[in-house]
Structure 1
């Protein structure tokens, strides 16, 4: 059913709809804002990966560390 899901004329229709919705004057500003947001997202994910690689993984608490409490009844 969806053998050729995205043909070149589909992209042309989508581009035309985007121009009609946003207007040709707002498209450069919108694209610039989107690019800036993607750069910020990319730098933040890189920073998170670096922080994760530098910090050692926390050790899981084992049950043998805590003293056992006995019921004296």
Structure 2
């Protein structure tokens, strides 16, 4: 869960955790590259749902969900 040395819009609290894509929010410039003048690198941004217990363990209400809008570069296919 190391924070990358460069800018990222991917929240640390969701990195490496399993979520479920709920919606495609369309194609947008990737802020990680655009903020450094490295081009827009357009890609899909997805609304991903996480169980609160996946993020915060037993302290979270098992009925709660957290949504994060995440770019393709931040996602991996679950095995």
| Bigger strand fraction | 2
With normalisation by structure 2, the TM-score equals 0.18
With normalisation by structure 1, the TM-score equals 0.18
| Bigger helix fraction | 1
Greater Rg, structure 1 or structure 2? 1
